[in-house]
A and B are shown apart, each in its own frame.
Chain A
Amino acid sequence: MPTAGLLLAGCAGPQSALDPGGDQAHALFSLFGLMLWVSGAIYAVVLAGLGWALWRAWRRRGTDARRDATLVGGVDARLDRTLPVVAGAIVLGLTVLITGSFFADRALFATRAAPALEVRVTGHQWWWRVQYRDRVSDGWIETANELHLPQGVTVRLVLNSADVIHSFWVPNVAGKLDMVPGRTNRLDVTARRPGWYRGQCAEFCGTQHAHMAFAVKVEPPAAFRAWLAAQAAPAAPAEGRGAAAFQATCAACHAIRGAGAAGRAGPDLTHVAARRTLAAGALTMTRGNLQGWIAQPKAIKPGTSMPAIPLTPADADAVATYLATLR
């Protein structure tokens, strides 16, 4: 068993179905365990049968049983009686698996009636718009490429797409569900283990499918409420060279609530510096990476819709400095 433990330890990680940190992922992990045992047993039986056949054939290598009707006839009658046993065993094994699958499926969708919190996640080429229902104003609190989940609370994720088909997947928390344009899918997740996880688009969605990830933080409800309140607050009013350059060049696509920028094409940047990653998981959030991303988005993420805006070095520096203050 130490090897198995080592193997599983090696498979733990921020983006692994083998390291469940939520109810749904746990139900699926248990189902996987059942499947693995049953399948392993079946495979062992098949290989044993193959080995037995080869051993018998080897033992009979000297005899001339070639097309001997009487010899084969007797054996075949015995084999004929074995056939229903084999069929029955396969049906039995499948029945176990189908039943297991059925109950796991029901477990995933058992919490449908009582979502405590609704979060809208919309897929874009190649980033994620995340909106929390604001109980106070009944509006939406918007962020991007980062999802915070309160520990132990069932959250309903409302999944949509703004362009092509994407797929929402945080393997440590739950199985994936597609984001299909023209349709709305709902995924209920109940995260249990606090910490950072990673989600990634699982349906091929174009050039930068590989760089369409997001960070997920599971935290105690109090910490979650504090985070959400911080996200709901507007940014400080814009002032200074960086804010002015942002207004002139970036605000057509990006919003900064409280600072007058209201573009909708790209991610909301109101609290961008408080996020863990940049450019949908392509970079870690640092001031240097912010400036690099603004200067050469297509070098970092070829094909991205973010244009390289010609800014003077001083302006680029000022914009990056300004964005780094948006916490």
Chain B
Amino acid sequence: MIPDLDRRDRLSLTWRDPPGWWGFLTTVDHKRIAARYIVTALLLLFLAGLLALDMRWQLSWAENDRMGPQLYNESFSLHGSTMLFLVSVPAMEAMALWLVPLMLGQRNMAFPRLGAFSYWLYLGGVLTLWVAHALDVTPDLGWFEYPPLSGPNYAPGHRADIWAQMITFTEVAALCASVNVAATILKMRPPGMTLARMPVFLWAMLVASLMTILSMPAIMLVTSMLIADRLVSTHFFAPAANGDVLLFQHLFWFFGHPEVYIIFIPATGFVSSIVETFARRRLFGHHVLVLAILAIGCLAFGLWVHHMFAVGLPRLGNDFYTAASMAIAVPAGLQIFCWIATMATGRTWLATPMLWVLGFVATFVLGGLSGVMTASAALDLQLTDSYFVVAHFHYVLVGGAMFPLFGAFCYWYPKATGRMMSERWGRVAFALIVGGFNLGFAPMHLLGLMGMPRRVYTYPAGMGWEGLNQIATLGSAIAVAGGLVFVANALLSYWRGAPAGADPWGASTLEWAGESPSPPWNLAYTPVVDSLTPLWDSPVLRVMDGVAIERREVIVTSVVDAAPLYRQKSAAPSIWPVVAALAVTAMFLGSIFTPWAIAAGALPIAAALTGWFWPQRGRATTGPLRVRS
């Protein structure tokens, strides 16, 4: 389905970005925006990984003096905040921004300029945290800053404010990205892709986006309350003034637990896509996988209290949260079964992306099982806040989300760049990262059971913790070396990889229909879908014409049946998202120092949004839609 040159030229005229810096700043191409997200997140992954290695070095010997307490506390705070807020969640959103329109055969997201805005705001959050670090105003109270420790009495200066405001940035960005993804998946599926014919990947991204929309307000609320306590003495969390410190924990974890699944559910989408392609058969249990994702999405909101079993809440509630937390194992277990069954009954081909799936299953299941242990309200009293829990959440987040992300990176790399990554170096990176990770984090289970609390910068000799800590350090170093091989492979393949062609893996979904790398307009025609695996089921992809090529247009379809409804104008490149993000950044940063920044800062934001939404000529048009076969 390579378009004739004339059509290609006309599409290019319509969809290309302005050249140079202006194009860089004004682009609304979802692929360019997503690539920025991914590069930023990977860079931060590397920096935060180096912090981790430094901390591992510090803990390798009792009473080591590589770091003092302040430096160590800053290191783990920066590591955790970066990994949770600036790497994991944005990386998943980036994959959605990049893949959702491609997998839908659409030209762009539902709200192109909102996509650009969310990236610039995310970048604002990144710079807030890391520029503050360069200026030695690094947050030093962990990735969740419980009051009263983070309150005005115990955390003078602006370290805690930087943390709280960084969250506001990234959460507004996440809300924008999620609204965009959900609207695109619900209203812009290609004709014929009913909800029943939607790939698991899209279900995963839809559910993760809806969860983001429901959970993020809780943390924006709680960090705003913290800033208000610090800035204008509101006493939400001050026990002496009848505030309640536990209110913070409830609101934080009402976001914090769903967040884990906001990271994990997209990963199940990656795994589903990879397994289907490399088992070379349609996924077994499509409906089970979709229902499992929905079940996890619902259960995720009913178990935040398992982060608080040790704060002394009523026992009856603990039993409920224990059962709810363990119940997650039912849908998660069924997902694992479906993937294994698909591999067993297909002709599974162990290319690098598939290796990552194997690493994911072997590692994530361990994290899930240690999660079942921490879900027990009783046993958690020994496990929480110890190195056991450090091991647990790294197994879940790295094994359960990062390994699938690395697999997804290898899997979709040819589509993004038009070149194949080296299989040999891919295997080397895989072996180093998965082996190093397990060597590094498995001993931490034992360390926690042997009484080592998390977040200690040193420990006395004679506790019996040194040997295991040294193994952990060695493992982490091996994993970091593997990460370097992975990055080098990605960089070298960008110039020297074998040309990929449109569909190097013989995959089934629509993102593989067009050329690689995808041109700015994605597919030349709108595809028409009549099965779950359209590229496998019809010898020639059926397409539809009728969407304009002289102006930016997308097609909007109905929510359930994906019946074509109308053609919608799609936004052209615009400088307003950058300007609006700058205005919002100014207000957020100002409000660290004075409450008046909120009033004064609202004016530039209003001006930017007025420019953004200034009425333009040329309305959304409807017209006849022809079907071409």
**Residue positions of A touching B, CB distance < 8 A:** 10-11, 13-18, 25, 27-28, 31-32, 35, 39, 42-43, 46-47, 49-50, 52-54, 56-57, 60-61, 63-68, 72, 75-76, 79-80, 82-83, 86-87, 90-91, 94, 97-98, 100-102, 104-105, 108-109, 125, 159, 163-165, 167, 169, 171, 174-178, 180-183, 185-186, 198, 200-210, 281, 302-303
Contact = CB atoms under 8 A, between A and B. Distances in A.
A57 B284 contact: no
Contacts of B281: 65-68, 72
B341 A16 contact: no
B466 to A, nearest CB: 12
A27 B378 contact: yes
Contact of A65 (B330, B347, B458): B347
Contact of A178 (B312, B318, B373, B376): B312
Top 6 nearest A-B pairs by Cβ distance?
Answer: A175-B381, A182-B239, A15-B451, A57-B348, A53-B344, A210-B456
B333 to A, nearest CB: 4
A50 B69 contact: no
A67 B282 CA distance: 7
Nearest to B69: A207
Interface in B287-345: 288, 310-312, 315, 318-319, 322-323, 326-327, 329-330, 333-334, 336-337, 340-341, 343-345
21 contacts: A18-B449, A32-B373, A32-B379, A42-B365, A49-B340, A50-B340, A53-B344, A57-B343, A65-B347, A66-B347, A90-B330, A94-B330, A104-B379, A105-B377, A105-B378, A159-B312, A164-B146, A174-B381, A176-B384, A210-B455, A281-B460
B285 interface: yes
B545 interface: no
Contacts of A163: 148, 154
B377 A180 contact: no
Interface in B496-541: 533, 536
B393 interface: no
A83 B243 CA distance: 50
Interface string B368-380: 0110110011111
B280 to A, nearest CB: 5
A42 B376 CA distance: 17
A203 B69 contact: no
B142 interface: yes
A107 B402 CA distance: 39
Contact of A180 (B284, B312, B457): B312
Nearest to A175: B381
B149 A164 contact: yes
Interface string B343-357: 111111010000000
B290 to A, nearest CB: 14
Given A46-B361, A87-B334, A171 B382 contact: yes
Nearest to A187: B312
B597 interface: no
B381 A57 contact: no
A79 B284 contact: yes
A159 B484 CA distance: 48
B153 to A, nearest CB: 8
A206 B149 contact: yes
B17 interface: no
Given A104-B378, A204-B142, A302 B69 contact: yes
A302 B345 contact: no
Contacts of B457: 210
B44 to A, nearest CB: 23
B453 A17 contact: no
Nearest to B68: A302
B245 interface: yes
Contacts of B319: 102, 105
Nearest to A32: B379
B326 A28 contact: no
Nearest to A55: B344
B459 interface: yes
A80 B149 CA distance: 53
A67 B280 contact: yes
A209 B245 contact: no
Given A102-B319, A176-B384, A202-B310, 10 more contacts: A13-B450, A18-B449, A35-B373, A35-B376, A50-B361, A53-B343, A79-B284, A86-B333, A101-B378, A180-B312
Contacts of B377: 101, 105
B239 A181 contact: yes
Nearest to A42: B369
B315 A60 contact: no
B611 interface: no
Contacts of B285: 79-80, 83
B337 A83 contact: yes
Interface of B: 68-70, 73, 141-142, 146, 148-149, 154, 239-240, 243-246, 279-282, 284-285, 288, 310-312, 315, 318-319, 322-323, 326-327, 329-330, 333-334, 336-337, 340-341, 343-348, 350, 358, 361-362, 365-366, 369-370, 372-373, 376-382, 384-386, 446, 449-451, 453-460, 463-464, 533, 536
Most buried by A among B318, B370, B451, B455: B451
Nearest to B244: A182
B323 to A, nearest CB: 5
A177 B372 contact: no
A94 B459 CA distance: 36
Contacts of B385: 167, 169, 176, 202-204
Given A176-B382, A209-B456, A16 B372 contact: no
Residue of B378, B455, B536 most packed against chain A (CB within 10 A): B378
Contacts of B366: 43
A91 B330 contact: yes
B282 A90 contact: no
Contacts of A18: 449-450
A187 B333 CA distance: 36
Nearest to B323: A98
B291 to A, nearest CB: 11
Contacts of A178: 310-312
B344 A57 contact: yes
Given A79-B284, A83-B334, A86-B333, A175 B312 contact: no
Contact of A31 (B244, B311, B378): B378
Nearest to A89: B333
Contacts of B311: 178, 180, 185
A208 B69 contact: yes
Contacts of B245: 165, 180-182
Given A13-B450, A86-B334, A108 B463 contact: no
Contact of A108 (B347, B378, B458): B378
A27 to B, nearest CB: 7
A210 B378 contact: no
A90 B372 contact: no
Contacts of B346: 57, 65
Contacts of B345: 56, 72, 75-76, 79
B156 to A, nearest CB: 12
A180 B249 CA distance: 12
Given A13-B450, A207-B70, A43 B365 contact: yes
B276 to A, nearest CB: 10
A181 B343 CA distance: 53
Contacts of B348: 53-54, 57
B464 A13 contact: yes
Contact of B336 (A46, A67, A174, A175): A46
Contacts of B361: 46, 50
B450 A165 contact: no
Given A16-B450, A210-B459, A79 B246 contact: no
B69 A303 contact: yes
A236 to B, nearest CB: 33
A10 B446 CA distance: 10
Contacts of A207: 69-70, 73
B244 to A, nearest CB: 7
A165 B341 contact: no
